[in-house]
Amino acid sequence: MALAAVSACLSALAMASSASAETLSPPGGFRLHASNGYSLDVLSFHKPETERGEVLVLVHARGSAVLYFAHATVTDTSIEASLGAVGAIDVDFAPSGKARTERSQCGGKPVIVDSGRYVGAIDFKGEQGYSEAHATGARGDARFALGLVCAKSGDEGFGGNSPGALLRVHRQGGTHIEFEARKNSPSRPARFSASIHERRGPLLIDRGVTAEAKPDAFDFDVSAGTATVAPPAPFDGEATFGRTREGATWHGDLAVDFPGRAGVRLTGTGTRASLVRAVQNPSHPFRLP
């Protein structure tokens, strides 16, 4: 739903990019520096001819990010949204009448927007104090929307003669948790990622972290159906995967600290795991037989 709305937003920006300077479109969002090394990106969109809209707030730093999604009152020139316990946004766009060109990192046609600012009140305080931002204005910025549309994973292959492995763990329920460990071969660096999807009051929240470690942090034998992981911070502990006639097993004390939600267990009741041959890295491709 959110990506469809983003696409509609970009279509509107693309149409505005061919218009005259007098009708330049606001970018629909802005970016701010936040505390503890984080940045805060905001993107808004609304249904045509209504003020019923949504807002996406992305708080991100190297290796970690939190995405908040909430209903909002939005027009072409204003954003008003309650973020529950983590803050609120109430801003109006002050146009400059001057054009600025925004480009996506993945190519495509540039988008031309008004280079003005959003002014008003912007307040954010992340859960457990992981980051906060407070401002009375921010320059308009469309890069968040452009980045969402072109976001994609790298080339990936499964099975066959892959020298690497992918361990996947997930748990459904009130919150949805995922964990992945990946290596392109036994001697390559181990890469780890985890995410959690939850609802808190008026917010839908996605939190995610990534980490990289030496090869011995993820030891596997796909043929035997065994693997052990001991990722670095923000992970803690370790876990073991095994495949038996009765099915897969996943045990240990592995946990992760997400921004705003620390100590989330990645093992225990309800978790399911799988181990397959896989590789994901354009510089180390392989072909299936």
Q: Which two tokens stand for residue 194?
A: 């985890």
Q: Maximum CA pair distance of the chain?
A: 70
Q: Which two tokens stand for residue 188?
A: 């390559």
List the structure tokens of 244.
């038996």
pLDDT for the residue 21 = 44
Q: For the CA atoms of the chain, what is the radius of gyration?
A: 22
End-to-end CA distance of the chain: 38
Residue 80: count of CB within 10 angstroms of its CB: 19
**Between the CA of residue 237 and those of 118, 192, 266, what are the distances in Å?**
44, 13, 10
Angle between helices 143-150 and 2-17 (to 10 degrees): 120
Query: pLDDT of the chain along its 289 residues, tens only?
Result: 444 444 445 444 544 444 444 578 899 999 999 999 999 999 999 888 889 999 999 999 999 999 999 999 999 999 999 999 999 999 999 999 999 988 776 666 788 899 999 999 999 999 999 999 999 999 999 888 887 766 554 555 666 667 899 999 999 877 899 999 999 999 999 999 999 999 998 899 999 999 999 999 999 999 999 999 999 999 999 999 999 888 899 999 999 999 999 999 999 989 999 999 988 754 434 333 3
Give the whole-angstrom CA distance, residue 53 versus residue 75.
8
Q: Give me the pLDDT at residue 247, please.
A: 87
Domain boundaries, the chain: 2-150, 157-279
Q: Is 72 exposed, middle or buried (0-12, 13-18, 19+ CB in 10 A)?
A: buried
